[in-house]
Amino acid sequence: MTKGQPIDTYVNLDHEPEINKYFKAAIKNSASDLHLKVGLPPKLRLHSGLKNTTGGPLTEQDMERIVFEILTEKQKEFFMHNGALDFAWQVGLKDRFRINIFRQRNFISLAARHITSKIPPFESLHLPPIVEKVADTHAGLILVTGPTGCGKSTTIASMIDYINRTRPCHIVTIEDPLEFLHNDQKAIVSQREIGIDVSNFDDALRSLMRQDPDVVLVGEMRDNETLTAAMRAAETGHLVFGTLHAASAAQTIQRILDMFPQGERDLARQTFALTIKAVISQVLLPGLREDARRVPAVEILLNNPTVKKLLSEERDSDIPSVIRACQGDGMQDFTESLRSLVADEWIDLKVAIEYAPNKEELKMALKGIRSTASGLL
């Protein structure tokens, strides 16, 4: 939800809205997403592919009836003026959906992501063991990056849940909208939803330090103001999580710096070098096993003294070499992740080659040949 979207996100109805039957079908079939579009039957995303439901094609009148039933007047007004709207919808006590409605070819369409209240642990997400150690950090900035739909929110939710279960602290999340719901365990978890609990990110960040947080989730790093506030919190001893749309650790660094005007980049670079603790970049791949139809390939950059030195000296191009050289210390690049997934029979070789950033390098790695870095200090 962007700044200026309506605040009253939820509608109180004295009957069950029509859209819930589609959401219940998504829940029953363990679908990750629901798509509603004029002229097509409702579709569910199952194991990364879209499948038709048994319902017939939706008409323009169907879509308007289904969508407008669950919107407030303010939301309708915002949508009619802007052509898109983000909000959350809850079905029962356990299941939530992150909804985006938008206009295309002058018709209304809907895309909804199923967000379950059950937060999966690291092991079931098939994340590298180092992720748990990263979550044990008590200060600094941790970024989880990747394309849309790669599981960034789920990975961070799993890390927040781990902290919630193991550490007596105060966790504050600022989300747009809330995705996973965290119940207080060893920690206190305060979840603030943009448009419901606070008007916008700026207001939420301004009041953050008065809430005595130990751990902060800022959600998506959208601009330099959000990133600056996150780094400032990390500098003052807080553990800060955030997400970014970037394909790798190296691209993450570039995206971070590109958020700042040219005259501010030197200071931003030095602050980032001091505060960043880890960059976890991931992409979801189709899996081979019935119990793991989608598994992540994960690149991990940890901020050791060499990485900090390279960042400070603007030697970003050497970062991938450091990741390769330090794989025994918890770091790993996408090539190593793909090699491991193939070797352990989690994914097919063809899938690994398709997604490999360097196909020849992956083929060599599968033969046990990897280059390492030298002379970087």
Token pair for 175: 């989300």
- All structural domains of the chain with their residue ranges: 19-116, 122-366
| N residues, the chain | 377
* Element at 214 (helix H, strand E): none
CB of 96 closer than 8 Å to CB of 178: yes
User: Sheet harboring 49-52: ordered strands across?
Assistant: 49-52, 43-46, 33-37, 107-116, 95-104, 84-91
Q: Give, for all 377 residues of the chain, the pLDDT tens digit.
A: 444 555 444 555 667 899 999 999 999 998 989 999 999 999 999 876 899 988 899 999 999 999 999 999 999 999 999 999 988 888 987 788 989 999 999 999 999 988 776 898 998 999 999 999 999 999 999 999 999 889 899 999 999 999 999 999 999 999 887 778 899 999 999 999 887 788 888 899 999 999 999 999 998 888 999 999 999 999 999 999 999 999 999 999 999 999 999 999 999 999 999 999 999 999 999 999 888 888 999 999 999 999 999 999 999 999 999 999 998 899 999 999 999 999 999 999 999 999 999 999 999 999 988 765 544 54
CB of 115 closer than 8 Å to CB of 98: yes
Q: d(Cα 79, Cα 73) in Å, to the nearest integer?
A: 10
Architecture of domain 19-116: 2-Layer Sandwich (3.30)
Judge if pTM exceeds 0.85: no
Looking only at the bridges linking them, the beta strands covering 33-37 and 170-175 are: unpaired
Q: d(Cα 115, Cα 178) in Å, to the nearest integer?
A: 9
122-366 maps to CATH 3.40.50.300: yes
Going by C-alpha positions, the residue among 194, 268, 280 that lies closest to residue 232 is 268
CB of 282 closer than 8 Å to CB of 151: yes
